């Protein structure tokens, strides 16, 4: 039974590594535009979150 579980975890780890490798090569191969787009969205979300926190603090103060 342990052998089977061991095999499973190795397979899962291998899949995870393959996924990471695929993601890395995708970024390297020129989906950098997509990365920038995602960063812009993140920055926008961070900005909205910061504004939300700021307005809450102002209300409490």
Per-residue pLDDT tens over the stretch 6-52: 666 666 678 777 777 787 777 776 656 666 777 777 777 777 777 77
Q: CA-CA distance, 17 to 13, in Å (whole number)? A: 6
Q: Where do the structural domains in the chain lie, given as residue ranges?
A: 1-30, 31-61
**Residue 42 confidence (pLDDT):** 75
**Residue 3 confidence (pLDDT):** 66
Q: CA-CA distance, 15 to 27, in Å (whole number)? A: 18
**Residue 32 confidence (pLDDT):** 63
Asked whether the beta carbons of 21 and 13 are under 8 A apart, the reply is no
Give the tokens for residue 14: 């291998």
Q: CA-CA distance, 17 to 35, in Å (whole number)? A: 20
The structure's pTM equals 0.29
């Amino acid at each position: 039974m342990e052998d089977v579980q061991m095999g499973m975890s190795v397979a899962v780890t291998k899949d995870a590594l393959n996924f990471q490798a695929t993601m890395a090569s995708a970024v390297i191969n020129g989906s950098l535009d997509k990365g920038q787009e995602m960063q812009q969205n993140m920055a926008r979300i961070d900005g909205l979150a910061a504004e939300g926190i700021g307005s809450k603090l102002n209300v409490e103060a």
